[in-house]
Structure 1
Amino acid sequence: MSSGQSYLQRLNDGRNVWFRGSIVQDIATHPSFAGTVASVARILDLQDHPETKERLTFVTESGGRANRAFQVPTAKEHIFQRSDSFRLWSDATFGVMSRVAGFYRAQLTGWFIRRELIRSKQPYYPDKIKNYYTHLRDNDLLLTAAGHDPQIDRTKLASELGDLYTAVRILKETEDGIIVRGAKMIATGGPYMDEIMVSPHSPKTQDEQRYAVMFAIPASHPGVHLICRDSFASEREEDDPLSAHYDEMDAILVFDDALIPWERVFIKDDPEAIWSIRSDRYVSAISAHENIARLISKLEFVAAVGNELAQSIGIKKFTHVQEKLAELFFQLESIKALLLSAEHHAELYPDGVWAPQLQPLITAKNLGNRYYPRAIEILQQLSGAGMLQVPSSIAELQGPLGDKLQTYYRGADRNAQERVRLLKLAWDLVGSPLAGRHELYERFYAGDPVRTYAAQYLEYDKKSLSVQVG
């Protein structure tokens, strides 16, 4: 059985995916989910293809094969192998599907590698995270996460909301595990994933101990509901080439007094331990590595579309257009250079594992939340009103007015069919509901940019910047 077929079979597990007021009975065939499910299966099949198998997978100690996101980098060359794998994986979706690409798999691998970090605080954590990592690795399971509390009143702690108490917290403990109630947001790709990691994405205080819990569940876990946003998917593949294949659905998790078995409870009642493992330098580096590889795929795609837009209407000779295209190129080359710097200056940690240098990765991530919105703006400027002047369907070019449309919609260097396809693609990247979601995602997926910039300032080694004034 191929990796894709195995994935499709796993989706029929009774998960409670709520969409427009009812549970989706079959994710793989529902019109709002089917296109993305097929894309995920197609990407997973790359692991079995003779031309990509070696690049995407490695041989484990038990003799099986696993995705390189799970590879423990015990040699510097493993950093480059992982990078190549991340790029190949991301290029398969033009960088627009982030959770399939492997960020949380890489993060889990970091937690597994650094599992001894908090043994003194959480003695059961190392064995539990090892077992969980091995389970996901050997079964090729997809992982996402949910970590933000519902936005009720952000001036208050979760524990200060009185009867609301909306965030996930422990209600009680039993012989079998913990009972949790509340909600977590946002599980990007949750309806399509096999597993979901739940833990706070920001520090909890000692007053929030019952909220300081880290656990993992299968997407079909009893007592858990996945509440989806509206769909941005399209069934019109020819007219909406991105929306038809890559709507990475976002969902809020609602825990209705769900029992989490002890083997899946990694940390509880310990804000300090959770933040130690979440903010660990090594974990940050090995997971951010995938983020930046995916960002390169996405910026490269936008640059390619921008270049084609300019070419299609003959405006590349104008200096102001060249300036805008050059900006797309230097965005791309800047992030590429930062990734290469991080990889070539990879660091060997005391426990015998390698990781890319963290500071260039953080710089690239922080630049990305400004670069991507600007890149989209450049596409808008290059096209002007062009994207609004296309017919409602490419099929109209073969309809009763086809001869006239073939004349009026042609480009400087291509026929009407090719130009309309390009404009439809550009609109799906710039102006569609999917496009709006992606701009918002790139701005905030790593957190509030103000805080991430401030954090980089605080963590930066400023000693070398001192100037002696005598």
Structure 2
Amino acid sequence: MVEERIKMANTRMTAGKAYLDRLNDGRRVWLDGEIVPDIRSHPAFRGTVRSVAALLDLQDAPATKSQLTFKTDNGAKAHIAYLIPESKQDLFRRSEGLRIWSEATFGIMSRVAGFYRSQLTGWYIARNLISREQPYFPQKIADYYAYVRDNDLLVTAAGHDPQIDRTKLAHELGDLYTAVRIVRETEEGLVVRGAKMIGTGAPYMDEIVVSPHSKKTDDEQRYAVMFAIPASHPGVHLICRESFASDREDDHPLSSRFDEMDAVLVFDDALIPWERVFVKDDPDAIWRIRSDRMVSAISLHENIVRLASKLEFMAAVGTELAESIGITKFAHVQEKLAELYAQLEAIRALLLSAEHRATLHPLGVWEPALEPILTAKNLGNRYYPRAVEILQQLSGAGMLQVPSTIAELSGPLGSKLRTIYRGADRDAEERVKLLKLSWDLVGSRLGARHELYERFYAGDPVRTYAGQYLAYDKQPLLDKVARVTG
């Protein structure tokens, strides 16, 4: 596996430059009915690609290098998400590095932030406990973990079956391009056919892990397969949604830089080499791997770090909106701003609680407390849409009352427009930029996508809340009542 690509570790090439070079690998990214020849230069992708490259370069920057990376046992420099928390200090170090990483994109870039890197780290830590009937899993996942860590590769995942008829199981839908399944086995590996959704960030990632997100039944053994592929893997097509990107950076400051493209993966009888097949024909094993408590705690910890960064950005924009038109003296505005602050502080407190209540796992790693993490994740499903609503209320129609471009402030009507669009505490250019940022965040196509994403990225909120109920230790609560009722 190490020979699949030339290792980039310990070379003089910057992480961002190495990433840009890796993207020229023949990946089949489909947009508007055509394969994109080079996503580095295509207007739908280049802004995001440049942002990712700049983010990776933070690993080489003197001010952030020590916080974002660590040295592995073999001397390679690795991203902080791959750090195994063997001490409580390691856990805090991971948290701080992930915070810096997330805040570089204001919490908007979710998959590049490190969730699946963290999940892979959890799988590696627990590889000997969660495999059981899959004897090759521990070594394969260890090799894969070392490969992506030492080559500083970006990882995303695709696990949901296509939404065709949700009253039926995958095997009841027929064989023509439904959910990914094994169609045959060869000496070289498995041949798989079908589709998986939704590969967030897949077009500009290095690696994609594929496995079912929902539990498969014994009748669906051929669908119970877990493997990893490079984004350019033969026989794999990445079908993109409509682009929300913009090439007008001044007028669309977020859409021009952070359109985290979503894609459906179509496998056209793709051969998956055996060394990249982690599990096959075993629904129970895949479910154990996906639901392991320690793995969930390690990976979801990153999610909450990112959520705090994103809610902090929402609170900052909301505050600026109110300040810009002098409405902070009104009680109903103060109430709305306080709600944004309360959201942020609640998530921060839950994050700190998870870290300080961490316990030493039998495997010798410090495991964040899962209960506050699950609480923060579930609250985030509701907090973010409410934050969007608050920003809309604070602005009113202000986001719609801006010139089509900031450049118009310097045009023929510039002197008049600079008078009309000025704010209570800033000039017209500053206020128009703020309003355009706000619209990009909560009103644009990108903004709508993010609201939907935050509602459902972790699954159906009804199920995630029900899952928290089922997993919660309710006995101490019942004992309290019993002390009164006898």
Do the two structures share a fold, i.e. TM-score over 0.5? yes
- Does 2:274 align with 1:274? no
Q: Deviations over 1:23-50 (max 9, x none)?
A: 0001100011000000000000000011
Deviation at 1:353, TM superposition (A): 0.7
1:49-448, aligned counterparts within 5 Å?
Answer: 49-164=61-176, 166-448=178-460
The residue type paired with residue 380 of structure 1 is Q
Q: How far apart in 1 are the matches of 2:370 and 2:323?
A: 38
Q: Deviations over 1:88-140 (max 9, x none)?
A: 00000000000110000000000000000234300000000000000000000
Deviation at 1:161, TM superposition (A): 1.1
- SS class of match (2:314): helix
Q: How far apart in 2 are the matches of 1:94 and 1:24?
A: 28
The residue type paired with residue 402 of structure 2 is V
Please name the residue that 1:453 is paired with.
Answer: 465
Deviation at 1:63, TM superposition (A): 1.1
CA RMSD of aligned residues (A): 0.6
Q: Is the 8 A contact 2:85 2:91 kept in 1?
A: yes
Q: How far apart in 1 are the matches of 2:424 and 2:174?
A: 64
Deviation at 1:165, TM superposition (A): 5.7
Deviation at 1:167, TM superposition (A): 0.4
Q: Is the 8 A contact 2:130 2:292 kept in 1?
A: no
TM-score normalised per structure 1: 0.99
Please name the residue that 2:475 is paired with.
Answer: 463
Q: Is the 8 A contact 2:87 2:365 kept in 1?
A: yes
Q: 2:41 aligns with which of 29, 36, 45?
A: 29
Q: Is the 8 A contact 2:323 2:424 kept in 1?
A: yes
Q: Is the 8 A contact 2:176 2:194 kept in 1?
A: no
The residue type paired with residue 277 of structure 2 is V
Q: How far apart in 1 are the matches of 2:177 and 2:281?
A: 16
Deviates more, 1:209-218 or 1:347-356: 347-356
Q: Deviations over 1:139-161 (max 9, x none)?
A: 00000000000000000000011
Q: Deviations over 1:198-243 (max 9, x none)?
A: 0001100110000000000000000000000000000000000000
Q: In structure 2, list runs of 5 or more residues that go unmatched.
A: 1-12
Please name the residue that 1:3 is paired with.
Answer: 15
TM-score normalised per structure 2: 0.96
Q: In structure 1, list runs of 5 or more residues that go unmatched.
A: none
Q: Deviations over 1:284-336 (max 9, x none)?
A: 00000100000001000000000000000000000000000000000000000
CA 1:165 to 1:32, structure 2 compared with 1: closer, same or farther past 3 Å? closer
The alignment covers a number of residue pairs equal to 470
- SS class of match (2:112): coil
The residue type paired with residue 28 of structure 1 is R
Q: How far apart in 1 are the matches of 2:457 and 2:91?
A: 24
Deviates more, 1:348-357 or 1:396-405: 348-357
Please name the residue that 2:9 is paired with.
Answer: none
Q: How far apart in 2 are the matches of 1:276 and 1:461?
A: 20
Q: How far apart in 1 are the matches of 2:193 and 2:289?
A: 24
